[in-house]
Amino acid sequence: MATLDQTSILGNLRGAWAGGIISSNNSSWYLRSWKTPLTPATYYQRELRGTLATCATLWNNLSAREKNTWGTAADLPEWQKNDWFGNPKNPTGYGLFVRLNILLLLAQRAPISTPPAALFPTCPGITSAFLYRTNGTAYGRADLSDPLPSNANNLVTWISPGTANGTQPAKIKRRLDYIKANETHQYATIWDRANLQYGLPYIGQPWSIYVACFDAYGRMSSTVTTTVIATEP
């Protein structure tokens, strides 16, 4: 890449010229050869882009009245999410439409044209939990108070080191069991996958368990949590 004298006649030029690109940065203007921009096109990227395009088409096919319905639903406090500064922020009607339908389309389910009721699944409680370490292995379980509610699509558990602080999963956490709605057992294993990230727990070490339900649109219930201490069986 060649740099250019800023006082030269070329110093004021920018853009494509003679098979190259003229531009500038903080230090000087420069001339480089043209390169075709790389656009990664993995299968999942193509799938996501195609799904976003489908969502846009579906939105454009809605009537003005239907779009207003989505806008009204999006203003409900149940749809709020926190921005980077922790301030609650509601989506636009289009943003809510895409947020819900993209999950359905990626799961190869039928899209929706009217917003669902702002009714989030209620997460079962944790009645008891244990974490045992023995003979170079560890295993544990969290027992749930009830089966998954009818409006829940799945239940997810996380684990993180230390005592539970608050109701949201800690930033340093490991996703564990994933229970689908058609499964009837009322417990979640709490170490099998954690071993990949944390190795083995120390005897006497506290660990936080978080459990939450999600509906078919990816909406999360309130989170329940408990603390277990790694012990010998």
Structure confidence at residue 79 (pLDDT): 83
- Spell out the per-residue pLDDT of the chain, length 233, in tens: 444 454 555 455 556 666 666 666 655 666 666 666 566 677 778 888 899 999 999 999 999 999 999 999 999 887 887 777 777 889 999 999 998 898 788 878 889 999 988 777 888 889 999 999 988 888 888 898 988 888 787 888 888 887 655 544 445 555 565 666 556 668 888 887 777 778 888 899 998 888 888 877 777 777 888 899 999 98
* Residue pair 131/142 in contact by the 8 Å Cβ criterion: no
What predicted TM-score, i.e. pTM, was given to this entire model?
0.55
Q: Roughly what angle, to the nearest 10 degrees, separates helices 93-106 and 64-74?
A: 90
Phi, psi torsion values for 154, nearest 5 degrees: -160, 165
Burial degree of 179 (CB within 10 A; 0-12, 13-18, 19+): buried
User: What is d(CA 136, CA 101) in angstroms, rounded to the nearest whole number?
Assistant: 45
Structure confidence at residue 97 (pLDDT): 95
Helix (H, G, I), strand (E, B) or coil at 98: helix
